[in-house]
Amino acid sequence: MKNTIKVCLGIGLNQIFPEEIEIELSPVATKDSPRSYQITNRYGKPIKFIRSGDDLVMKGGDYYRYLFSEDGSGYYAVDPSGGPFVSVGTDMGSLHKKLKGNIVNSIDIDIESGKITLKIKRDE
C-alpha cells in the first residue's frame, strides 16, 4: 500500500519547504502475514516472537542454551544469550504486554533448522 506524505526537507528564513514524497507502508500484520512482537535483550539484540497459529516462533539472538525437563520428556526452557529466559509456565506478558495471558505450555526445538516453537495455552 502506497501513501503520499508531506515532509520538511529544509527550513529557510521563517519558511518551511514541505515536499511530497511517496512511501511504501508495511503493516505490522495482515491476513497473509503473522503478527510479530519484538523485544530487545540486555545486549541490545532484537528477539522476535512471531505468531504461528496459536503458537509463537522465537527468533533472534546469537547463541541459545536449551534446558531439558528432569524426566527427559522434552525441553523445559530456552535461554538466548542476553535473554530472555523462557520456560514452560512463563506468561509471555512478562516479556511483551500484548502477549499477556499467553502461557508457554511446551517448547519444541528443531535442532537442524534452529526453529524454536513455543506452544501456547491461553489464560482466560
Q: What is the pLDDT of residues 4-42, one digit of tens each?
A: 555 554 555 455 555 555 555 544 445 555 689 999 999
Quote the CA–CA distance of 26 and 43 in Å, as a whole number.
27
Q: Compute the C-alpha angle 36/110/26, nearest 5°.
A: 20
Coil/strand/helix, residue 59: strand
Task: Tell how far CA 65 is from the center of its chain.
Answer: 18
* pTM above threshold 0.85: no
Residue 77 reports pLDDT greater than 80: yes
pLDDT of amino acid 3? 56
Beta bridge partners of 47: 39, 60
Q: Which of 68, 79, 92, 76 is nearest to 42 (CA)?
A: 79
